Structure 1
Amino acid sequence: MKLITSGDNARLKQLAKLIQSRRARQAAQQAVLEGVHLPQAFADAAYRIEALYLPQHKLADAEVTALLNRLPETPVYVVADAALGKISSLTQADDIMALIALPPPPRLPESGDCVVLERVQDPGNVGTILRSAAAAGVAQVLLSADCADVWSPKVLRAGMGAHAQLQIFSDVDLPAWCGQYRPPLYATALSADSRSLYALDLRPEAAWLLGNEGSGVSAAMQAAADVRVQIPMAANTESLNVAMAATVCLFEQQRQRMA
């Protein structure tokens, strides 16, 4: 273990850049996991953890000790509590950080179940949708370039380790991708020709397209979809939050398949 006492340390400055900047994450192809549970989830999925940064007061923590025992080859840096607190995005900046290498982008899927996000900009919504996709057994998630960065600290925390269970495709040209994807594409939309979610046969493979929190799926992507879908709701109620709508659709799909 190596000791870092200054917030001006070059390694800590790089961590700060990765926490704060999408561009820095893309350039380095790295991201930062905050807290002990995310590194555990990523280690379970055989992600490469490149370094661990521990606050001094966490050295005797049982969960931290267990994590260190799992990763005997990973470099460990012990950081003075005040120095780590200067760069963390956590409200309570007193937990560990792990530096991970991002996986190389896989080939865009031409089949298989997918969740497709267009201009979903709230990090909490993106992370929640990732959790729902993983829980419903949908392993492929595509995001347009104007979504919240899927590897940002806020999305990682909201995802609660779901990233490690998924194939994630960022900055996707969605109209171009639609031309190569073979199964049906369902777009959530409150339009006159939308079909009820509960009237569809959702047992075959499909992709679910969900749009921006305020304006929904764009007109161009609605036109590219095979079916426009709405969730039946009580009269005089507004549309669901996009993360909740995604969860309802994905678990109705799972329910039909289990039945």
Structure 2
Amino acid sequence: MSAGSRAPDGFHSPATPHRAAEPVRISSRDNPLLKDLRRLAREGTAYRRLGRLWLEGDHLCSAALNRGLRPAAAVFAESFWAHAPKQLAEAAPKVFLLPDALLAEASGLESPAPVGFLMDLPEQHSVQAGLASVVLDRLQDPGNVGSILRSASAFGFGQILALKGTVALWSPKVMRAGMGAHFALRLVEGLESEAVGDLGLPLLATSSHRGLWLHQAPLPWPCAWMMGHEGQGLGAGLDARADLHIRIAQPGGEESLNVAAAAAVCLHASAALKLSAQP
């Protein structure tokens, strides 16, 4: 997607790229910007208080740019600035240069990245009826949630509904695991289970012990797959709302699959049936 393309829902993006900004050097550990970056990198829900996202590393930064987004500010390590790619160096209206050691303090990575974008938090969405969706019920592991977002984006599901008790979708660990999938999806957080009724779609629940076998089930499209807590599964109220219960054949004999793996298998099955039905 080019710089003039429409940004994903909830984000604001200028129609044209910014001119290269004159960089501002920061050398104080007490600089307000650096304090905010440290909070955003270390606190999973700091983005809600600050209204900003901190994207670390060229992969996430490039993923945002490729979706037509523009950051509020770009932050570079001094050692990287001289050879930073033009796409990154000219992406933001404000550019800040930090000594490598200071920028490392604002990193949640084992190996700190030399570049990051500060972006405005997108507007909170309401549930969009009729849009193929994935419902997350109290999932706790950021890696699982990020992986599910990647699968949802890859297999044509446009919306994620995170019920209360689910890990914060824009937390740094979820964003890193999502690898840019966030920017392709409509994300709705903090919902009660009743919100799934607003989708107006068939609700599919995964189960390890009952329901139709996935490889034999007549999966509807569009639909909403519901994925439950890593240990407890779907809540009873949400499970009772399901129109179909689906289980995955495991001829190898494992008791159950990791929720992210199960989601990938189920979402791919839906996408495959959708594609096979097209002329």
Larger CA deviation: 209-218 vs 23-32: 23-32
Q: In the alignment, which residue of structure 2 is the partner of 1:14? A: 36
**2:202–2:220 contact (8 Å) kept in structure 1:** no
Aligned CA RMSD, in angstroms, stands at 1.5
**1:195–1:229 contact (8 Å) kept in structure 2:** yes
2:269 to 248, 252, 256: 252
Q: Does 1:126 align with 2:148?
A: no
For residues 203-243 of structure 1, what are the alpha-carbon distances to aligned partners after superposition, in whole Å with 9 as ceiling and x for unaligned?
42100000111111122211111111111111531211111
Alpha-carbon distance in 1 for matches of 2:40, 2:128: 28
Alpha-carbon distance in 1 for matches of 2:84, 2:199: 47
**1:47–1:101 contact (8 Å) kept in structure 2:** no
Q: In the alignment, which residue of structure 1 is the partner of 2:99? A: 80
Q: In the alignment, which residue of structure 1 is the partner of 2:19? A: none
Cα deviation for residue 18 of structure 1 reads: 1.7
Instruction: Report SS of the residue matched to 1:117.
Output: strand
Alpha-carbon distance in 2 for matches of 1:22, 1:158: 14
2:180 to 153, 156, 161: 161
Q: Rate the CA distance shift 1:47–1:58 in 2: closer, same or farther, 3 A.
A: same
Alpha-carbon distance in 1 for matches of 2:174, 2:203: 25
**1:7–1:84 contact (8 Å) kept in structure 2:** no
**1:183–1:207 contact (8 Å) kept in structure 2:** yes
Amino acid at match of 2:158: A
Q: Does 1:201 align with 2:223?
A: no
Q: In the alignment, which residue of structure 2 is the partner of 1:43? A: 65
Q: In the alignment, which residue of structure 1 is the partner of 2:54? A: 32
TM-score by length of 2: 0.86
2:155 to 120, 123, 136: 136
Alpha-carbon distance in 2 for matches of 1:123, 1:23: 12
1:90 to 109, 112, 117: 109
Alpha-carbon distance in 2 for matches of 1:226, 1:77: 52
**2:136–2:226 contact (8 Å) kept in structure 1:** yes
Q: Does 1:240 align with 2:257?
A: yes
Amino acid at match of 2:57: G
Alpha-carbon distance in 1 for matches of 2:158, 2:271: 13
Q: In the alignment, which residue of structure 2 is the partner of 1:171? A: 190
Cα deviation for residue 60 of structure 1 reads: 2.6
For residues 154-207 of structure 1, what are the alpha-carbon distances to aligned partners after superposition, in whole Å with 9 as ceiling and x for unaligned?
111111110011111111112x21332211000112244x11112222242100
For residues 87-133 of structure 1, what are the alpha-carbon distances to aligned partners after superposition, in whole Å with 9 as ceiling and x for unaligned?
21111124211111121122212212101111111111111111111
Q: Would you identify which runs of 4 or more consecutive aligned residues in structure 1 move more than 4 Å?
A: none
Report percent identity of matched pairs: 36
Alpha-carbon distance in 2 for matches of 1:88, 1:115: 30
Q: How many residues align?
A: 254
2:120 to 93, 96, 101: 101
Structure 2 matches for 1:50-61, cutoff 5 A? Answer: 50-61=72-83
Stretches of structure 2 that go unaligned for 5 or more consecutive residues are: 1-22
Larger CA deviation: 22-31 vs 121-130: 22-31
Stretches of structure 1 that go unaligned for 5 or more consecutive residues are: none
TM-score by length of 1: 0.93
Instruction: Report SS of the residue matched to 2:93.
Output: coil
Alpha-carbon distance in 2 for matches of 1:250, 1:162: 15
Instruction: Report SS of the residue matched to 2:231.
Output: coil
**2:45–2:168 contact (8 Å) kept in structure 1:** no
Q: Does 1:180 align with 2:198?
A: yes
Larger CA deviation: 229-238 vs 208-217: 229-238
Amino acid at match of 2:235: S
